[in-house]
Each structure stands twice: as C-alpha cells, then as structure tokens.
Structure 1
Amino acid sequence: MGLTIHGIAASRAVRPLWAATELGLDFTHVPTPYQGGATRSPGFLALNPNGHIPVVVDQQPPEQGGEIVVWESMACALYIARHHGQPDGHSITPATAREDAEALRWSFWAVNELEADALTVLMHRMAMPAERRKPELAAAAEKRLTVPLRVIEQHLRQQHERGESHLAADRFTVADLCVASVLNWARPARELMAAHPLTHHWVRRCVERPAHVAVKAAG
C-alpha cells in the first residue's frame, strides 16, 4: 500500500502535495511537468485520460477498493484529507458535517468563482515575461474578482465574530488549503488585496505555513 502524487508544485498539483505534507504522510512524489509531453505518454494517459496533472494513486487493500486513482486537483486534496487524515479536530481533515460541507462548498466555489481570473492576474502581473504581459487583461480580471472577494471577506468577518479564524473552523483545514491555493495567484493585485484586508491576511497566513513553504521549495 502507498500513496503516489504525480505533478509539480508549480501547478495545481500543489494542492494534493500540500495536503499530504500537512498530514505528515509518507508518500511518493513523481515530479511530472505539464509541459514537454510527459502527461501525454501512454502510461500517464492510462492514469488520467485528460492528460493533466495532478493525479493521485492510492494503493488500498482489496476490500477498500484496491488501486484508487483520483484526478482534478481539488478532488485530490479533498480525498487525501478525508481518507488519510484523522477527523480529530486538530488536523486539516473535516471533523464535523459542517466542516465537511464548508470544505466542499468553498473548494467548488474557488474553482467556479476565482480560478480563471486569479490565474490571469498571476500571469499578466508577474509570471509571464514582461513583454508578453497584457495589463488590461489583469485589470479586467481584478475588477471581476471584487465580487467573489467581497463574499469571502464577509464570510471571514462572520467567522471572526463567532471566534473562528479560518473558513471552516478555528483552525486551518483543507477548506483553507484549497481556496488559498487559488487566491494566492491573485496576490500580485495589491490594490485588490488591500481593499479586502481580512482575506489578504488570511491567505498570507495560509501560504506561509511550513508545509506549503516546504512543498514549494521542493518543487
């Protein structure tokens, strides 16, 4: 039995890598890049016919399903948290039905409401070579992001009022991991972040966690 994660930290694969590291799991990392054809090899396509990273392969006993293959980055992170962590109220694993619901809804929300525009900000404010950046695309994405950031800012304010410092609880959970992994892309939009101080402070605390720093450093 064993857990294997295919992908690289400079991609959406950071999500399952971060989850496994937060939980202190013993796992195998296969550093599969998204460029150069590695995800189009017959062996990789047998794991994920979409040809994308990440892919999680979990070798379970036959009575638990045998070899389990998971793709889609949010699904990978949620699977690892649910099936390899302890619902003890201390780890990233949801410990109650409410925490599980928060993890599900905020993860899907991040994909639907944040990801495309946050990636546009990252690419056109920082990641791409300066001569290829289009500031007007970043500006339009930042304008659209004001709506979902208003939503998460309000939620964090409500959480603070009930004595909870994170999205689902008064501790860091997989809900925070999934959403922060997306919102981190938008941090180059300084004015946008400054206009949502609770969100900015929260995402910075999330990505400064030792597990995330270690995953990014390892590549």
Structure 2
Amino acid sequence: MLTIYGVYRSRAIRPLWVLEECKAPFSHIPVIQAYRLTDATAASAALNTAMPDYLAINPLGQVPAMRDGALLLTESLAICLHIARKYGGTLGPASDDEASLMEQWALFAATAVEPAAIEILYTTRDGQADSPTGQGIIRLAAEKLKRPLSRLEQHLAHHDWLMNRFTVADIMVAECLRYGQSYAPLLTDFPKTARWLSAAQSRPAFNTVWSRRAAEPE
C-alpha cells in the first residue's frame, strides 16, 4: 500500500489532497518537522525528520516522502504527479501531451510561484507582517509574483481550470499560491485567478484535508 510520511502542516498536504480527491487507499505516518520541536532528540519526542529511521528514508530530513511498492519519492510535486497518474483517474493525464502539460504546471508552481509566495508566508508566520521590514519583504514578494499571476490570469480568462477539467495541476499550483494568500492585496488585480483559487479551495476534498491540518498542533 502507498505510504505518505509527513504531517498536514507541511508540504505533505499536497499529496494528501490528491489522495483525498481520488479516494485511493494509503497509510499515513505523521512525521513532524524537527524544527518545530523543542528537542527533536528527546526520548519522548514525536516521530520527526531528524530521527535516524526517517533520515534513512529522506536524508534531507524533509517531508513529505512516499513509498509505493519499491518506489520512494521525496519531492511533494513529484509525489502528486505519481499519485494522479497511477491512481487519480481524471485527476491525472489522459495522454502524453497532458502529462507534459501537468509537468509544466508543476515546474511553474515550484519555480515561478512558490519562492516568492513562501516569503509572504514566513514573514507573516514570524509576526513581522506589520513591521516596516516585513512590509517591505511582502511588497517585494508580491511584485515578484505579478508576472506568474498575470500568466495565470491570462490562461484562466479562457479556462475554468488549468486543464480542461480539475486535475492535479490545479492542486499543485493552488497549494504553492496559498502561501501568499494571507496578503489580501495579492490577488486584487487578478480576479480570475482569485475565482479559480476559491473554487479549488471550496472542493470537499480540500476542506477535509484543511480540517485535518487545523486539528494538528501549530
């Protein structure tokens, strides 16, 4: 059976959302990030990314990781693509061309969206969003996102979803963009992108995994 390692308050939520959409059977091992623990090496510490048993799975000490038979993957978007392709039905590609388009959207999410969006997330999470320095970081990150958001806006002017239906491509891009969502002005000039993101996050599967995320300790 496919196994996902990682908590919902991590990039593991991406493949966990895909799995919830396609209702594929899997086992879940909630490995928490070591940096979130006071002492990750304590005897009483929760299963975490610094433990030798987990480092044997992913030497980078990051989550998620996935085992599916003999296959081991340690990159969240690669895991999403694998699950969608093997178990996802219409979430996955129906042709080689669709597979290539989904891979392109994954790379777009990882390179054009996530780096700047996560700057917004970290600045807000660290309580710096209202400081002059934090505001400067957030504004600069939002500026960096204007070109990829314009790309999305142009595409979504003619499509409800990134493909001709809801797919893993939407999950991957939506999850990377979510990191910047706390900055309210981010999507003001991109109403079609805002509509698309809201539609993705209104899906029952997303609401399920988000509720599970909220139930985990911060």
- TM-score normalised per structure 2: 0.86
Q: What amino acid is aligned across from residue 84 of structure 2 in structure 1?
A: A
Residue number in structure 2 paired with 1:148: 148
Are the aligned partners of 1:110 and 1:182 in contact in 2 as well (CA < 8 Å)?
yes
Q: What amino acid is aligned across from residue 29 of structure 1 in structure 2?
A: H
Residues 1:80 and 2:83 aligned together: yes
Structure 1 stretches of 4+ with a deviation exceeding 4 A read 130-133
Local SS of the residue matching 1:40? coil
Local SS of the residue matching 2:186? helix
Q: Shift in Å at residue 208 of structure 1?
A: 1.8
User: Which of residues 147, 163, 172 in structure 2 aligns to 1:168?
Assistant: 163
Residues 1:181 and 2:184 aligned together: no
Are the aligned partners of 2:129 and 2:135 in contact in 1 as well (CA < 8 Å)?
no
Residue number in structure 2 paired with 1:30: 29
CA deviations over 1:41-68 (Å, ceiling 9, x no partner): 1111111111110001112xxxxxxx21
Are the aligned partners of 2:4 and 2:28 in contact in 1 as well (CA < 8 Å)?
yes
Q: Shift in Å at residue 192 of structure 1?
A: 2.3
Q: What amino acid is aligned across from residue 106 of structure 2 in structure 1?
A: S
Local SS of the residue matching 1:56? strand
Q: Shift in Å at residue 185 of structure 1?
A: 1.5
Q: Shift in Å at residue 102 of structure 1?
A: 1.7
Find the aligned partners of 1:131 and 1:203 in 2 and give their Cα distance.
23
**Number of equivalences:** 200
Q: Shift in Å at residue 28 of structure 1?
A: 0.9
Equivalent runs, 1:1-219 vs 2, <5 Å: 2-35=1-34, 36=37, 37=40, 38-59=48-69, 67-86=70-89, 91-125=90-124, 127-129=125-127, 134-157=134-157, 160=158, 164-169=159-164, 171-219=165-213
Q: 1:179 to 1:122 in 2, by over 3 A?
A: same
Residue number in structure 2 paired with 1:64: none
RMSD, matched Cα? 1.6
Find the aligned partners of 1:70 and 1:94 in 2 and give their Cα distance.
19
Are the aligned partners of 2:20 and 2:209 in contact in 1 as well (CA < 8 Å)?
yes
Local SS of the residue matching 1:29? strand
Find the aligned partners of 2:30 and 2:202 in 1 and give their Cα distance.
22
Find the aligned partners of 1:140 and 1:73 in 2 and give their Cα distance.
26
Local SS of the residue matching 2:91? coil
Unaligned runs of 5+ in 2: 41-47, 214-218
Q: Shift in Å at residue 130 of structure 1?
A: 5.1
- Identity, in percent, stands at 34
Q: Shift in Å at residue 73 of structure 1?
A: 0.6
Unaligned runs of 5+ in 1: 60-66
Residue number in structure 1 paired with 2:45: none
